[in-house]
Amino acid sequence: MPHLDFAQPPFDVLSLAERQSLKKHTQVRYLAADEILPTTDLNCFFVVIKGQVEQTHNDEFVANYLGGNHTDHVQSNDWFDSRRSPERPLTATSSMASVSNTTADSDFNNPQSSQYSQLSERYQYRAGEDTLLLQVDGAAIDRISAQNHLIRQLLSDKLPERLKALQQRRSAQGQALGLGTTSYTAQQEVQQIMLQPVTDVTLLPIHIIDAEQSLYQAAQIMTKAGLKHVLVRPTEHSETMATFDTYSNNSSSTNNPSTTFGSRSDRTLGILTDTDICRAVSDQRDPANTACQHYASFNLRTIDADHEIGDALLTMTRYRIHRLPVIDDDGKAIGVLGQSDMLAHIGHHSQLISIQIEQAKDLASLDTAVELIGRYIRAQQQNGVKIGIVSRMVQTLNAQVFTKLWQLIVPEEVMNNSCVIVMGSEGRGEQIMRTDQDNALIIRDGYSHERLAEFAETFNNQLANFGYPLCNGNIMMTNPMWRQQLKPFKAQISLWFRNTDPMHSIYLSAILDGEYVCGDESLLTQIRKHLKFAHQHSDPMLIRQFARAALQFGEVNQWWQKFVPLLGKPKANDIDLKKAGIFPLVHGIRAMALEHDILEAPSTKNRLKLLVNARTLTQERADTLSEALEFFMAQRLSVALINEDKYAHQVDPTTLSALERDVLKECLAVVKSFKTQLRQHYQLDLG
């Protein structure tokens, strides 16, 4: 006889006593194909054991719930709470005249107001085939939920609560796999990493040559070993001097008998790098006849094997060095600690990545820091950190990369007379993976530099080399349209507000998402002021056309069919997270912000906050939209990391857990409701 699987959510959070209680209030229920659950039974919780149940509302399909053995793809049984109420869309009650009014619209202001349609409060459930269910008494679920906050969150009719439960489960799974915990503060995380011994980092192998050997021989060893350095054993004279300096300067040598005068400790070794060999060639020295000791650096800083990573980082930072030989208790070198390897080891902490970016002196070291950002993203995702927190931190780190790159490219006078901005998802702080660049350069009126075009091309191409692809739409500072002085930039924006060219809506969307990176921030402030001025003097109908783009991919009708292949039919397409979820929410909220002159906040989260302050949305509605957006972003990141493809955004719902599928269905329902709200508010069905 079928029974509840307490190893699967939502029942895996129940205590033994709670499980026993549920067993007493659970019965098997059979539905024949096309049979509908009667209204008298719509006060229960159901688990689909076999078959499928279609959920509808006002004769419109909403979702499909499947048994775990329906196909080989579905990982676990779906469930549904028949007591949940539908997401209620907005009723079109206002005329288009109200669209141009920047005061709060009552329909937007209160999703639960009397302006909403008096719709049925219940969904309808029909068996798509012969179906076996487990029916759990709703009152029993309620009694347990009153005492168990975990089950209450998992079964809540409020999306933010269920998303919080999903986030907690992911965090717990990360802890179980030894991937870390989000319960630590940032300070505790740093301390934990800094206290690890340096030997926890992968050390570079040891290759030692005598000081009298030639640079040519050293280069051969470096090439064969795939290293950029070799250690150099000094002559007797230089060894004595090196030992004295090491004894004086190396704090770890004080208690180490191997550093006493006359001993042959590896602390007296020198180092020769590929840069030193290049310097010799530049000096026109013959590598085959030049001894290493003439170009090697002695008085080398070392670190003991039992010392901590924090000590190594401090030494490298203080003395601006990139390699530290690691010395054991016998005074012998057991490896070389490279700065890039150490930063890779600790690179999942944002503060340390920021230090690496700030200290970058050339493109190569900046590229290393960019790679650390990718590792940070993966670590935070595995640790179950909330996607909004990760995205905003990545935005900060990316801005530091862009700033440092611009500083390495342009003279100071260009920096002082221009402003670099990023746009699109990067500007909103909602980009995780390194996707297409969207940037611009605002130039002070009256200022020019003959190499500005060259600087812009170098900037965009170097970002592409770092892994930020060039923009297919050419919304980059290499495009003269996105590299202008302030006055013509303003004139161009005014043109976008006057013209009905569809591309102008795309350009407006980009500049509305503009965020400061570096240079003179007042230039961007003036652009934002002009955006408000141009909007206030634009055609009131413009906002209607602007908002229409949120519906361009059509309704997500029959999206439930994408969850599994229907019997006897080929597998349906995966769900496009960007088209079905992310873009409609982002652009719809952007349109609402534009309508209400909310132009100072490029991020969707801040736009929602200001829309609530303007009494355009309720706090509950804003929270639901925000949580749905973050869920889509998190799922897209998961797909991208699994497929190693930063452009990936197609998710196969059959690979998700029942809990994730349940939340995905709810988030798609939120998008559908929001699009209906936009359609009715802006009267987009009227043509």
473/484 same-domain check: yes
Assess if residue 71 is contained within a domain. yes
Q: β-strand 333-338 against 323-327: which pairing, if any?
A: antiparallel
Most confident residue range from 111-115, 498-502, 635-639: 635-639
- Which amino acid, one-letter code, is at 92? A
Provide the percentage of residues in the chain whose pLDDT is more than 90: 43
CATH number at residue 74: 2.60.120.10
- Asked whether residue 24 is assigned to any structural domain, the reply reads yes
Is 181 inside a domain boundary? no
- With tokens 């355009």, the residue in question is 616
Residue 296 bridge partners (DSSP):
none
Same domain as 561, residue 515 = no
Strand 52-57 versus strand 208-210 pairing type: unpaired
Which DSSP letter does residue 582 get? I
Q: What one-letter code names the amino acid at 456?
A: A
Looking at the structure, do residues 609 and 471 belong to the same domain, yes or no? no
pLDDT of residue 353: 80
Whole-number Å distance between alpha carbons of 657 and 7: 12
Statement to judge: residues 105 and 142 lie in one domain: no
CATH number, domain containing residue 482: 3.30.460.10
Contact 246, 259 (CB under 8 A): yes
Claim to verify: residue 530 and residue 626 sit in the same structural domain: no
Confidence (pLDDT) at 554? 54
pLDDT, residue 30, reads 92
Instruction: Tell me the residue range of the domain where 45 lies.
Output: 1-85+122-157
Residues 25-82 have pLDDT tens digits of 999 999 999 999 998 888 899 999 989 999 988 888 888 888 865 544 455 688 898 8
Last residue in a domain, options 328, 346, 364? 346
Q: How many domains does the chain have?
A: 4
Q: Could you tell me whether strands 575-576 and 650-651 are parallel, antiparallel, or unpaired per DSSP bridges?
A: antiparallel
Query: Treating both helix axes as pointing N-terminal to C-terminal, what angle do 339-346 and 363-382 enclose, rounded to 10 degrees?
Result: 20
Q: Rounded to an integer, what distance in angstroms lies between the CA atom of residue 409 and that of residue 388?
A: 32
- Average the pLDDT over 368-395 and give the result: 80
pLDDT tens digit sequence for 158-190: 888 888 777 776 655 554 444 443 333 444 455
Q: Are residues 25 and 144 in the same domain?
A: yes
Q: Where are the alpha helices (DSSP H) in 202-302?
A: 215-225, 236-249, 274-282
Q: What is the pLDDT of residue 74?
A: 53
Contact 206, 334 (CB under 8 A): yes
Strand order in the sheet with 60-66: 60-66, 52-57, 124-127
Please indicate, yes or no, whether residues 609 and 663 belong to a single structural domain of this protein. Answer: yes
Confidence of residue 601 (pLDDT cuts 50, 70, 90): confident
Say whether both 206 and 110 belong to one domain. Answer: no
What does the chain come to in residues?
A: 687
Can you tell me the distance from the alpha carbon of 122 to that of 41, in angstroms, rounded to the nearest whole number? 11
The span from the CA of 360 to the CA of 355, in Å, is 9
> For residue 404, is it within any domain?
no
> Distance between the two ends of the chain, CA-based, in angstroms?
57
Residue 525 has pLDDT above 70, yes or no: yes
Domain check: are 266 and 339 in the same one? yes
Report d(CA 55, CA 259) in Å as an integer: 78
Cα 202 to Cα 198: distance, rounded to the nearest angstrom: 9
Q: Does residue 362 belong to any structural domain of this protein?
A: no
Q: Is residue 400 part of a domain?
A: no
Same domain, 306 and 229: yes
Q: Name the domain boundary from 465, 500, 535.
A: 535
CATH of the domain at 237: 3.10.580.10
DSSP calls for 520-580:
-HHHHHHHHHHHHHHHHTS-TTHHHHHHHGGGTT---TTGGGGSSPPTTSPPPPPEEHIII
Q: Would 185 be classed as within a structural domain? A: no
With pLDDT > 70 as the criterion, what percentage of the chain qualifies? 80
Contact residues for 581 (Cβ-Cβ < 8 A; gap 6+):
628, 629, 631, 632, 667, 668, 671
Among the candidates 346, 375, 396, a domain finishes at 346
Residue 249's pLDDT band (cuts 50, 70, 90) = very low
Instruction: Give the three-state DSSP class for 292.
Output: helix
Does the residue 186 lie in any domain? no
Residues paired with 64 in a beta bridge: 54
The sign of the dihedral angle between the CA atoms of 670, 675, 680, 681 is positive
362 pLDDT higher than 60: yes
Burial 417-439 (b: 16+ CB within 10 A, else e): bbbbbbbbbbbbbbbbbbbbbbb
Q: Which two tokens stand for residue 368?
A: 């290393």
Instruction: Tell me, yes or no, whether 484 and 604 share the same domain.
Output: no
DSSP 103-119: SPPHHHH-TTSTTS---
Better pLDDT: 108 or 132: 132
159-176 helix and 658-681 helix, angle to the nearest 10 degrees: 150
Question: Is the pTM of the predicted complex or chain greater than 0.95?
Answer: no
Q: What is the CATH number of the domain that holds 687?
A: 1.20.120
Whether 249 and 313 map to the same domain: the answer is: yes
CA 222 to chain centre: 39
Question: Which pLDDT tens digit goes with each residue over 467-508?
Answer: 899 998 899 999 999 999 999 999 999 999 987 788 899 999
Q: How many whole angstroms separate alpha carbon 171 and alpha carbon 175?
A: 6
- pLDDT computed for residue 109 by the predictor: 43
